[in-house]
Homo-oligomer: A and B are copies of this chain.
Amino acid sequence: MKVLELKDQSPQEITVKIKDYTFEEFVEVVRSFHGFEAVGILIGGFMVDEAYRHLPRGPLFDALCETPKCLPDAIQLLTPCTIGNGWLTVFNIGRYAFTLYDKETGDGVRIFLDPAKLDPFPEIKAWFFKLKPKKEQDLARLLYEAKTAGTSICGIQHVRVPHKLRDKQHQNEFAICPRCKESYPVSDGESCLACSGEEIYEQVPPDISGEQV
Contact = CB atoms under 8 A, between A and B. Distances in A.
A73 B82 contact: yes
A33 B201 contact: no
User: For the complex formed by this chain, how many copies does it contain in all?
Assistant: 2
A48 to B, nearest CB: 12
Contact of A203 (B33, B34, B157): B157
Interface of A: 33-35, 38, 40-41, 54-56, 66, 68-74, 76, 80, 82-87, 90-91, 93-97, 99, 107, 109-110, 112-116, 128-130, 155-162, 165, 171-174, 176-177, 180-185, 188, 192-194, 200-206, 208-211, 213
A176 B116 CA distance: 10
Lowest 3 A-B CB distances belong to which pairs? Answer: A73-B84, A159-B201, A93-B193
B38 A96 contact: no
Nearest to A90: B83
B55 A158 contact: no
B159 A203 contact: yes
Contact of A182 (B97, B162, B194): B97
A162 B202 contact: yes
